Amino acid sequence: MGGRRWWLGAVVFGAIAAMAMTATFLGAERTRSATPVITVTPASVPSTSEEPPVTLPAPTSPPDPGPLKPGGLDELAEGIDLGVVVRDLDTGEDLHAHNPDQRFDSASLVKILIALDALEDQGEPDTAVVGMLSTSDDDEASRMWSAGGSTRIVVTWAERIGLADTSPPRDPNQWGATLTTAADVARLYQYLLKAPGGAVVLEGLEGMADHGADGFDQRFGVPVAAGERHWAAKQGWSCCTDHRTTHSTGLVGHRYVVVVLTGQPVSTSAAVARARVTEIAEFLLSGR
């Protein structure tokens, strides 16, 4: 009996010990499972000290490049006559000006004056003026030019707007030979923003067709350089006297007036002349 009691006691003791060990093991498992799992991401790193976390400064936009450097534009102007104005309408500052008072044949740029006169002094329908401007229609421009007294249009509106260096052509039948400057064209665009007929004129410039009524490709210069920004543009071209005239002017992003007037060699093709004006406009708007 004594031996049997000893054997039973040993069995009981062993069972109790095994249960205790099992409870300890399960307790340890429950402890590990209860511990939260920390997932480390670049935006969430657990702190290992009492110090507060370091807050990095928010990224900032690149600084304004400031006025453009003339050296690059001088290089682009090599071998051509070039007049440029880039005006910030928010500040009134000319961010760049290159030969702003040099006179050029206006070519189709004078159609802006013809349009203003047709709207305000001739009672021409808005749709006719918008169509003339968007396709740069020479026939319609000639009709309105004659109806408005030809050279009287340039004299009257240059005085009204304050275009000091804009003058009518010597031959009243050649409206494209009106003379103007980059500074005067920039002033003209500022006038359009407040003139009674300005909204109609700008509607025509915002709706500029890819090709003019004469088939000329109008997709160069300011509209190309503007990218995805809003633009309103009037292009000008003519050839050939002693040079090829290729101009691109307009408003960009509701903030900048951009005027690029060029007189290029007669030997320059229309495509090359347009490409050069586009390169200049892209340079002027780079970083803006």
In the chain, pLDDT over 90 holds for what percent of residues? 73
Candidates 83, 127, 76; CA nearest to 105 is 83
Does the pLDDT of residue 24 top 80, yes or no?
no
**Tokens at residue 90, please?**
């928010």
Question: Which of the pair, 4 or 278, is modelled with greater confidence?
Answer: 278
Q: Which of 19-28, 171-180, 202-211, 251-260 has the lowest mean pLDDT?
A: 19-28
Domains with residue ranges and CATH for the chain = 70-285 (3.40.710.10)
Residue 38 structure tokens: 């920390």
pLDDT band at 66 (very low <50, low <70, confident <90, very high): very low
Q: What is the per-residue pLDDT across 153-162, written as a single tens digit (0 to 9) for each?
A: 999 999 999 9
Residue 71's pLDDT is what? 54
The pLDDT score that the predictor gives to residue 43 is 35
pLDDT digit string (tens) for 83-119?
999 999 999 999 999 999 999 999 999 999 999 999 9
Average pLDDT of the chain, as a whole number: 83
Ramachandran area for residue 171 (φ above 0: left; ψ -120 to 50: alpha; else beta):
beta
Q: For the chain, where are the alpha helices, taking DSSP H only?
A: 2-34, 70-76, 111-120, 126-134, 138-147, 151-161, 182-192, 198-206, 222-225, 270-285
